[in-house]
A and B are shown apart, each in its own frame.
Chain A
Amino acid sequence: MARLIRTEKEVEGRYTEQWIVVEEDPLDRWPEGPLEVVGRPAARVDGLQRARGEARYTADLALPGMLHAAVLRSPHAHARVRRLDFAPALEAPGVRAAVGPGDCDVLVEEAGYQGAPVAALAADTFSEAQAALARVGVEWEVLEPLLDPDEAVSRGELIEEASRYERGDVERGLAEADVVVEAEYRTATVLHNALETHQAVCEWEGDELTVYISTQWIWGVRKDVAKRLGLPPDKVRVVCEYMGGGFGAKIDPGDHTYLAAELARRTGRPVRCALTRREENLASGNRHATVQRLRAGAKADGTLTALEGEFTMAVGWDGFVSSTAGPMKMLYGCENVRTVELGAKLTTGPNDAFRAPGFVEGTFGLERLLDELAAKLELDPLELRRRNGADADPVDGRPFSAKNLAECYRRAEPHWARRGEVRARSEGPWRRGVGLASQVWYGGGGPPSYAWVRVGSDGRATVLTAMQDIGTGTRTAMAQIAAEELGLPLERLSVSLGDSSRGPYAAISAGSSTTPSMGPAVRAAAADAARQIVEIAAQRFEVEERVLSLRGGRVVSEDGKSWALEDVTGLLEDGQILGKGSRGPNPAGMRVLTFGVQVAEVAVDVETGEVRVERIAAIHDVGRVVNPLGASSQVEGGIIQGIGHTLSEQRLLDPGSGRALTVTLDAYKLPTIADVPEIVTELLDVPDGHLTSLGSKGLGEPPIIPTAAAIANAIRDATGADVRSLPITREEMLRALREARERAYAL
C-alpha cells in the first residue's frame, strides 16, 4: 500500500527533509552470500557494445540538420563585459544564431572566473562556430581576481554563512588529554576529467524539447530544464543511453544544455553544445582545495578526548561547500568535537560534487592527524582507531542500520602485519612502509525509485526504468537482481534505461546510491512479475500457488515437477506479464552508512622524492555485493583516482591573473596504467539487515576516501616524514624529508 512519509533524503552527504510516497518493501530478504546470479561475478551486459565502439554516447549523436555551438568564455578570472558586438560573427560562414547576456540567463556580464560563459553561437560545423567566436567584438573591464581562500575568509567573502558544529566541551577535552597534536593540512583543487566532456544536444519538436545529454541524473535534468524553461516536465524528454563518466560533475543540466536549448529554439534546428577538454577543465566543476587546521587530544591509552577543526574550502565563484568536517564528526566516538567550515568565494571555477566530496579531503586531514597522534602516543595506529570506534552515530546517537568496521579492521590485520617485512625490503635510497586509514560515508540511497519488469511469451524479461548507467555497471546489477528474482539466467534479461520517456522515475547516480535506490525497486518489480507467472502456472497446471517457485528458467513445484517458463508465458502469445516495483522506505530512526579501511604500501626514493604506491588492500563494508566483478572494478577505480589526487593531480592557477595553467591532459596528470599498484579488494558482503529487502549499499565513493591518507601514512612509516599537503609531488616529498631530517637533528 502506498504510504505518505516525511523523510530525510541524503545526496552526497547533504540532507533535505521531504514528503515521499512509498510502497512498503514486503519481500523476504535473500539469504546471505552468493545466490544463483546475485553475488556472482558477471561481465557487463553492455560490455560488447562499449568495447566495440558501437555504444552511442551523446558525443556520437549526429541528428539531421544539427548545428554546433561554441561558447565565448571569459579569458579573465574576473571581468565585466563593457561591449559585445555579434554583428561580424553573424556574417561568418555557417553561423546561424548568436546569443548573449539577456538572451539566456546562464550568460553573464560579470564573469567571476575564467571560462564563465558570456555569449554563444551556433554554426553548421564546430570549426565554423569556433572560428566565428574570434569575430565577436568584446571589450572587457578586467577586475581584481581573488584566489586565496584565507584572504577571502578574512575579507568576509563567503559562499554561505560559516557552518559550525559542536558536541561536548572541546576545552575540557583538551585539558583532560595527555597528548595533543595539532597540524595544518592542505589539499589541492582537482579536476574531474571524465573522458566524455559535458555536452548536450537539444531538439525542439513543437513545444516539446528532447535533451540528449551526458548526465548522472535524467530526472534531475528533466525537472530543472522544465522549470527554467517554464515547461510542464512531461514536455521535456531526457535521453542518456551511454555516458562517458561523471564522477559527480554531471548532475545538473549545466550551462551547455540551456545554451543548446536556446540556440535550437532560435534556429529551429537541433543544436549540440559540447565542451572542449580545456573548457571542461575551466568551467565544469572541480573538487575544491581545502585548508584544514586540526587538533586532537587523547588520553595515554588512546581514548580521544577532543577533536577540533577549522576547514576552509576554496569553493570558487559558485558551488556548494562540501562537508569536509564530516569524517571528524562521524568516524570516531569522541565526545568533544568542534568544527567550523568556511566556504571561500573566489574568482575561480565553481566547485561541484566529486566522488565523496569533502570526505576525501577531510579524511586525509583527520586520518593523517590520527597517525601523528598515534606516533606521539607510541601506539599502534590500527589499535588507536579500534579504541575509538563509535557504536552509534556520534552526531545524534542514532543506531546504525549496520556497522562492521571492526570486522573490516580484523580483515585488515594480515595486510597490516606485512609492516615488518615491507620495511625490511627498504634498500639504498628506497624506503618502504605501510599505512592505513579508515573510511565513513553515506551510500544508503532511498526512495522514490521505480522499475517495471516485462516478461514476454518467449520467457525473456526486460527491466524498464529511466535510470542511467554512468559506467559503474548498474545496468548489469539490475539485470542480475531481476534474473535472480525471476529464476532466469542472466542471458535472458535485457535492461532498457536511459530515456525518461521509456520508463518510470529513477534515482540519481550520485552519492553511491544507484544500486541501493534502484536495486530494491527492480527486485520488487521482478517479484511482481514472478507472482503473476506463478498465478498463471497454478491455474494452467492445477497446482497451488504456494508450492510453486521460479528457478533455472523453470516453474518448479515442491513435488519435483517442473515446467519450462515458456510453457507458461507461451500461453500469452502477444500478451505480456508486467510487473511494477518501487523502492521502500529507509529504516526509520537509523543511520545508514558505509565503512572501510585501506592499507597502503609505498616505496619512497629519499634522494629524488619519488613515491611509488606498491600495494593497496581495500576492505569495505557496503552490504550485499550484487556483482563482485563489477564491484572490484569500482574499488580499483576509486583507488586509482585517489592515487591521482594523492600524487600527481592539481589545478594550478597563475597567481597574477588567476588563469588556470593545467587545463590540458599533458599538464594535468591523471594516473596512467603504469602508476597502478597491486590492488587487493575485500568486500565483507554482509547484507545490511535493516536496509531494504536487498541489503545493498553503494560502492562508488567509499574506495576513494581513505586512499590519500593511507598513502601519506605509509610514507611516514617509510621515512618519518610528515606530508601534510596534497598532491605529494617530488617537491613536497623532498620538503617533508628535509623537515624530518631537521627535526631529527634538533633532537
Chain B
Amino acid sequence: MTELLVNGGRHEVHGSVLTTLAEVLRGHLGLTGTKVACGEGHCGACTVLLDGAPALACITLLEAVGEREVTTIEGLRDHPLVDAFVRADAVQCGFCTPGQIVSAAALVRETPAPTREQVRHAMAGNLCRCGTYPKIEEAISTWQG
C-alpha cells in the first residue's frame, strides 16, 4: 500500500513497481481529467503538479511520488484559468486541455502576468494537435480577467 496525497485528500492505493501515477489517478481514483495521450512523457496531456511543479504522470512511478502533494485538473476546477480557457476558445477537442491548464497554473503561480515569450516557453511541453495554441496564449494572457 502506498499513501498518496491528491488534491488535499489522502488515499491508500496499491500498485506494482512500474505502476504509474497516471494509472492510479485514472484507474483507481477515477480522476480521468488527467489524460494519457502518448504514455511515454512526450506530449504533456497527463501533466499534474507535484508540490506545485509540473510533472508527467505517465512516467512518474507511483512509489516515487513520496510525500509530494499531487494536484490534478480536478483540484484546479475552480481556478480562474478554466474560465479563461473557455472564454478564449482555447478548447477544441479538449483532450489536451486539462494538461494545458495544469501547466498554465504552474506558470501563473510563479509569474502571474507572463509575457508572450514566457507563455510560449512554459507551455511548449503540452502538445495540441488541434492547434489551439494562439487561444491558449490569449487565455493565459487574460486569465486575471
A640 touches B35 (CB 8 A): no
CB 8 Å contact bits of B4-35 with A (1 = contact, 0 = none): 00000000000000000000001100111111
Q: Are A670 and B127 in contact (CB under 8 A)?
A: yes
Q: A308 to B92: give the CA distance in the assembly, Å.
A: 39
Query: Does A577 count as interface, using CB distance less than 8 angstroms?
Result: no
Do residues A52 and B133 form an inter-chain contact, with CB atoms below 8 A?
no
A114 at the interface (CB under 8 A from B): no
- Whether B86 sits at the interface, judged by CB under 8 Å, is yes
Check: B66 CB closer than 8 A to any chain A CB: no
Is the beta-carbon distance between A637 and B39 smaller than 8 angstroms?
no
Tell yes or no: A472 within 8 A of B by CB: yes
Query: Is the CB–CB distance between A665 and B98 below 8 Å?
Result: no
**Tally of A interface residues using CB under 8 Å:** 54
When each residue 247-279 of chain A gets 1 if its CB lies under 8 Å from chain B and 0 otherwise, what string results? Answer: 100000000000000000000000000001100
A673 touches B133 (CB 8 A): yes
Main secondary structure of the interface of B (DSSP, over half): loop
Bound-state CA distance A641–B119 (Å) is 20
Residues of chain A within 8 A (CB-CB) of B130 are 245, 471, 633, 637
Supposing A52-B73, A53-B33 touch, asked if A196 and B98 sit within 8 A by C-beta, the answer is: no
Alpha-carbon gap, A35 to B51, bound state (A): 48
Most chain B CB inside 10 Å of its own CB: which residue of A51, A242, A633 = A51
| A24, B93: Cα distance in complex, Å | 33
CB of B79 to closest CB in A, whole Å: 9
Also in contact, A637 and B132, with CB within 8 A (given A195-B35, A673-B123): yes
Partner of B94, one of A50, A192, A637: A50
Q: How far is the CA of A472 from the CA of B130 in the complex (A)?
A: 9
Answer yes or no: A54 CB below 8 A from chain B CBs: yes
Interface status of A599 (Cβ within 8 A of chain B): no
Interface positions of B from 63 to 122, Cβ below 8 Å from A: 72-74, 77, 82-83, 85-87, 89-98, 101, 119-121
Question: Is B45's CB within 8 Å of the partner chain A?
Answer: yes
Q: Could you tell me which residues of chain A, from 170 to 224, have a CB within 8 Å of some CB in chain B?
A: 192-197
Q: A596 interface residue, CB < 8 Å from B?
A: no
B40 located at the interface, meaning its Cβ lies under 8 Å from any Cβ of chain A in the complex: yes
Taking CB atoms, residues of chain A closer than 8 Å to B87 are: 43
B89 touching A630, Cβ below 8 Å: yes
Are the C-beta atoms of B127 and A51 separated by less than 8 Å? no
Is B124 a contact of A674 with CB atoms below 8 Å?
Answer: yes
- B96 nearest CB across to chain A (Å): 5
Q: Are A51 and B91 in contact (CB under 8 A)?
A: yes
Mask, A709-738, CB within 8 Å of B = 1, is: 000000000000000000000000000000
Size class of B's contact patch? 35 or more
**A57 CA to B134 CA in the complex, in Å?**
24
Q: Are B98 and A639 in contact (CB under 8 A)?
A: no
State whether the Cβ of A47 lies closer than 8 Å to any Cβ in chain B: yes
Q: A242-B94, A641-B129 are in contact. Are A633 and B89 (CB under 8 A)?
A: yes
Shortest A548–chain B CB gap in Å is 35
* Bound Cα distance A276, B72 (Å): 23
A633 near B124 (CB under 8 angstroms)? Answer: no
- By the criterion CB–CB under 8 Å, are A674 and B121 in contact? yes
Q: Do A53 and B39 touch (CB < 8 A)?
A: no
Contact between B89 and A47, CB atoms less than 8 A apart: yes
User: Do B127 and A672 touch across chains, with their CB atoms under 8 A apart?
Assistant: yes
Distance of A277 Cα from B129 Cα, bound (Å): 13
In the assembled complex, which residues on chain A have CB atoms less than 8 Å from the CB atom of B91? 44, 47, 50-51
Contact B89 A43 (CB under 8 A): yes
Task: Report the bound CA distance from A671 to B38 in whole Å.
Answer: 15
Q: Which residues of A contact B126 (CB under 8 A)?
A: 673
- B129 close to A276 (CB less than 8 A): no
Interface residues of A in 47-74 (CB under 8 A from B): 47-57, 59-60, 62
Inter-chain contacts of B125 with A (CB < 8 A): 672
A48 and B39 within 8 A (CB): no
| A536 contacts chain B at the CB level, 8 A cutoff | no
Closest chain-B Cβ to A270's Cβ sits at a distance in Å of 15
Q: Are B73 and A244 in contact (CB under 8 A)?
A: no
Which residue of the partner chain B has the closest CB to A642? B131
B136, A673: Cβ atoms under 8 Å? yes
B35 CB contacts on chain A under 8 angstroms: 53, 57, 59, 195-196, 244
Bound together, the chains give a CA A196 to CA B45 distance in angstroms of 10
Tell me if B38 and A664 are in contact (CB < 8 A).
yes
Q: Once the chains bind, are A679 and B134 in contact (CB under 8 Å)?
A: yes
Does B82 lie within 8 Å of A673, measured CB to CB? no
Specify the main secondary structure of chain A where it touches its partner: loop
A53, A56, A197, A637: the one within 8 Å of B92 (CB): A637
Asked whether any CB of chain A lies closer than 8 Å to the CB of B43, the reply is yes
**When the two chains form their complex, are residues A44 and B131 in contact, meaning their CB atoms are under 8 A apart?**
no
A47 close to B120 (CB less than 8 A): no
Residue from the set A44, A52, A55 with the largest chain B CB neighbour count within 10 Å: A52
Instruction: Report the minimal beta-carbon distance from A613 to chain B, rounded to whole angstroms.
Output: 13
Q: Which chain B positions have C-beta within 8 A of A276?
A: 39
Please measure, in the bound complex, the distance between the C-alpha atom of A665 and the C-alpha atom of B126, giving whole angstroms: 11
A641–B93 CB distance below 8 A: no
Cβ A195 vs Cβ B96 within 8 A? yes
Within 8 Å CB of A50, what residues of B? Answer: 91, 93-94, 97
- Is A638 an interface residue, CB under 8 A from the partner? yes
User: In the complex the two chains form, what is the Cα distance from A665 to B40 in whole Å?
Assistant: 9
Which of B40, B74, B91, B137 neighbours the largest number of chain A CB atoms within 10 Å of its CB?
B91
Q: Is the CB of A51 within 8 A of B131?
A: no
Q: Are A193 and B92 CB-contacts (below 8 A) given A50-B97, A672-B124?
A: no
CB distance B33 to A670 under 8 Å?
no
In this complex, which of A48, A53, A666 has the most chain B Cβ atoms within 10 angstroms of its Cβ?
Answer: A53
B55 contacts the other chain (Cβ, under 8 Å)?
no
Residue pair A472, B92 in contact (C-beta under 8 Å): yes
Interface centre among B43, B72, B73, B123 (most CB of A within 10 A): B43
Which B residue's beta carbon lies closest to that of A41? B89
Would you call A344 an interface residue if the criterion is a C-beta within 8 Å of the partner chain's C-beta atoms?
no
Q: Mark A626-644, 1 if CB is under 8 A from B, else 0.
A: 0001101100111111000
Closest CB in chain B relative to A279 CB, distance in Å: 11
Q: How far is the CB of B27 from chain A (nearest CB, A)?
A: 8
**Which of B31, B40, B92 counts the most A-chain CB atoms under 10 A from its CB?**
B92
The distance from the CB of B29 to the nearest CB of chain A, in whole angstroms, is: 12
Most chain A CB neighbours (cut-off 10 Å) among B43, B82, B98, B129: B129
Q: Which residues of A contact B123 (CB under 8 A)?
A: 672-673
Contact among A48, A62, A243, A277 for B38, CB-based, below 8 A:
A277
Residues in B with CB closer than 8 Å to A47 are 85-86, 89, 91
Q: Which residues of A contact B93 (CB under 8 A)?
A: 50, 194-196, 242-245, 470-471
Contact B95 A640 (CB under 8 A): no
Residues of A within 8 A of B26 (CB): 60
* CB neighbors of B among A655-714 (8 A): 664-666, 670-674, 676, 679
Check: A447 CB closer than 8 A to any chain B CB.
Answer: no
What are 7 A-B pairs with beta-carbon distances under 8 A?
A: A57-B95, A62-B27, A245-B130, A641-B131, A664-B42, A672-B125, A673-B137
In addition to A276-B39, A676-B120, 9 A-B residue pairs with Cβ atoms within 8 Å of each other are: A43-B87, A48-B83, A51-B85, A60-B26, A195-B43, A242-B94, A245-B95, A471-B93, A665-B42
What is the interface of chain A, defined by CB distance below 8 A to chain B?
43-44, 46-57, 59-60, 62, 192-197, 242-245, 247, 276-277, 470-473, 629-630, 632-633, 636-641, 664-666, 670-674, 676, 679
Task: List the 3 closest A-B pairs by CB distance, nearest first.
Answer: A53-B33, A471-B93, A50-B94
Which residues on B are within 8 Å of A, measured CB to CB? 26-27, 30-40, 42-43, 45, 72-74, 77, 82-83, 85-87, 89-98, 101, 119-121, 123-137
